Amino acid sequence: MNELELIAKADERARRYLAGVEERPAFPSDDAVRALAAFDEPLPAVGHDAGTTLALLDEIGSPATVASNGPRYFGFVIGASLPVAAAADRLALSWDQCASSAVNSPAAAAIESTAARWLLEILDLPRGSGVGFGTSATACGLACLAAAQRTLLGRLGWDFDQDGLAGAPELRVVVSELAHITVLKALRLLGFGMGRVVRAPVDARGRIDPLRLPPLDGRTILCLQAGEVNTGEFDPFEPLVDAARAAGAWVHVDGAFGLWARASPQHAALTRGIEQADSWTTDGHKWLNTPYDGALSICRDADALAAAMNADAVYSTAARDAQKNLTLEFSRRARGVAIWAALRTLGRDGVAGMVGRHCDQARRLADGLRDAGFEVLNQVPLNQVLVRCDDDAMTHRVRDSAIASGEIWFGPTVWQGRPAFRLSVSSWRTRDEHIDRAIAVLAAARRDAAG
């Protein structure tokens, strides 16, 4: 089987998979998971035929996938890949570019540059900001926080590039007491021990309380949230950013999914004041519905991001806005191509419509679950629905029963010390009928659990 025949065969198998994704179980069966043992074989001394390798991958691997690309998956704010984004990603894979700079790929550099400009427009962030296309909000948050660390130390007269952290002036970090684990991971990697990270108290909805904000100064990085993972709530940016600016602190916003609220005229007010921050992160592979992996590091001071991430060498110099100078990776795939394709195809109105539709569906889901006797714990300002049953044991039983049905999947959580579960609406495939189907499954599970 030659290269083109193999690609055609892979395409045929991919089409067959996608044709059934809407009715595929949301989570694989136990039998499908057990069958994965077929991959646990000795390293072959003599390679197998490429066709049989592809067949094994599909016939054993495909049944054991989570249908996160389907319409009834409500876990982790994972969006399904838009058809044009997936198709563009496959074409970019065929190009096989090392998209570090224009020297390696003029096409990727030009396309990602346009995508960066469009993103700043649709998210209404400062137009001169630096934009890096990274692997995840974790990696992009690390890049932004590294820029913050280097910049604040520089203001204190410390040459971070030359002298590192040993003996450096001590910086402080203030985060929400509900800060996402990926922000904490990035801080650990940058040398901020968790014992030195100050937790800001939150209100009953999970938002930092400005009246209880810890002291800030020019040695402080303040990390805020656009979209708390359980409630979907937003920190009150205007008073918090104003306080940080007055103190000379750096403000970073973790907006992995919530930053996309700025694309919706009906929801942009939730983010009022966020544009005054210094850096932001968000994912394409969440609410823009682009393939994994694709995320964004955005820094108001493009030079600060470029200086922190600079990867020029005598054999490989590039412009400041080359992606190798804005992200953690030197060698990288052209992940911004899928983001460009999604934005070009949806346009401003299409992105706004998708975000708004998912928020409407989340409210529909919340209303239906309330009517079925569930306690909805959040105000559903965005696309997250936080739910609890009459008691903790029932909460566990209902979730287990609903997941076992294969009809839907959603994740467990803990809210204010008690078990709960959250459902995230973020797939372009999800229609109102799928929301109603989820309500019916959960209502039946609750009736069964109640005996």
Domains, the chain: 87-343 (3.40.640.10)
| Cα separation, 241 vs 11, whole angstroms | 49
| Cα separation, 209 vs 198, whole angstroms | 14
Local mean pLDDT, 10-residue blocks, the chain (451 residues): 94 97 96 98 96 98 98 96 98 95 94 98 98 97 98 98 96 98 97 94 98 98 98 99 98 98 98 99 98 97 95 62 90 96 99 98 99 98 98 97 97 97 98 98 95 76
Contact between residue 232 and residue 240 where contact means Cβ atoms under 8 Å apart: no
- Model-level pTM? 0.95
Phi and psi at residue 299, to the nearest 5°: -130, 125
pLDDT at 318: 57
Instruction: 96-99: list long-range contacts, CB under 8 Å, 24+ apart.
Output: 97/333, 97/334, 98/331, 98/332, 98/333, 99/323, 99/332, 99/333, 99/334, 99/335, 99/336
Tokens of 26: 């949301």
**170: exposed, middle or buried (C-beta count within 10 Å: 0-12, 13-18, 19+)?**
exposed
| Cα separation, 206 vs 26, whole angstroms | 29
- Residue listed under structure tokens 């005229």: 265
pLDDT at 1: 83
Contact between residue 44 and residue 16 where contact means Cβ atoms under 8 Å apart: no
| Cα separation, 264 vs 49, whole angstroms | 50
